[in-house]
Amino acid sequence: MGLFALGVLMVLISGGIDVSFAAIGAFSMYTTSRILPVADFSGSAAVAFILAGAIGALLGLFNAVFIGFYRLPTLIVTLGSASIFRGFLLAFLGTAIVNNLPEGMVRFSKLTIGNAGSPTGATAGLPFSFILFVLAAVVVWFVLRHTIVGRGLYALGGNLVAAERAGFCVRRLQLFLYSFVGLLSGMAGIVHACMMRNANPFDLVGMELVVIAAVVLGGASITGGRGTVFGTVLGVFLIVVINNSLILLAIPSYWQKVTVGLVIIISTAIRVPKRRRSRLGSRAAQRNPPRIQGAGLC
């Protein structure tokens, strides 16, 4: 969820909405899990991440072509491409669950950080994939805060015409954005396959709402131009804690969807009065500019 959320954050900042990341993750995960056993590969899991990331980047580039060159709405393009990717996956690649994952992916799933034991003899540890999430968060933070691309994404979300007049190439920004989101989605798919010890083409479907809720809860604006990596990380943690708490309380899973939906509505509604006051304050300042008193200042 964290890797997906980082990609969604970048899309929301740019003023778009992407609902195809789950389909890209499932396509990349299942394709990689089918190719590597056929090639009798038993090396490092890094190869699986590279292959899945490359497949995801190509699928993201498919979205970017229609969004960047034909200026089609991002929601419509990603909604259609998600259906295309899933249909192609189930029709041509198969529907059977892949259980014979490469040895490298199995080894990766067993890597943990800081094992802790309990009086009953059970042990628990933080999966090594969490380090991957932290590294991805650092990369996204650096891109958004310390590169021209990041400034361009914020400008694009604020006002597309103004971004073009400021000298940003909108097509290049969108080509990079959706390819990078596809790369993150492909890596997220491999993490999921490693943790589940199998590749199920029906997995990851329906995560779109939860991921978008985490990003919005972290302070990102649906209308674009605002959002931070730190807020997104906190939003992901909060959604995970809520879901896990509902499970521990033995609450049915469908109530989790109700909770996530309420979180989206409430977190968005809370910020509306603040934006309205800010907007009214800026209008009042324009009508009544402050007077500067003092000799020789006028």
Q: Distance (Å, rounded) from C-alpha 184 to C-alpha 57?
A: 8
Q: Distance (Å, rounded) from C-alpha 131 to C-alpha 137?
A: 10
What sign has the CA pseudo-torsion 50, 85, 95, 195? positive
CB 173 within 8 A of CB 152: yes
Using the structure block, give the residue that is written with the tokens 């978008």. 212
Using the structure block, give the residue that is written with the tokens 């009086």. 119
CB 166 within 8 A of CB 55: no
Q: Distance (Å, rounded) from C-alpha 203 to C-alpha 256?
A: 18
Q: Distance (Å, rounded) from C-alpha 102 to C-alpha 47?
A: 10
pLDDT of residue 284: 57
pLDDT of residue 283: 58
CB 21 within 8 A of CB 181: yes
Question: CA neighbours within 13 Å on the CB side: how many for 224?
Answer: 18
Question: pLDDT averaged over consecutive 10-residue blocks of the chain (298 residues)?
Answer: 94 94 94 88 86 95 93 93 94 88 87 74 78 94 94 91 89 95 95 91 87 88 89 91 84 78 76 65 58 43
pLDDT of residue 274: 66
Coil vs helix vs strand at 122: coil
pLDDT of residue 294: 44
Query: How many of the other CB atoms lie within 10 Å of CB of 211?
Result: 28
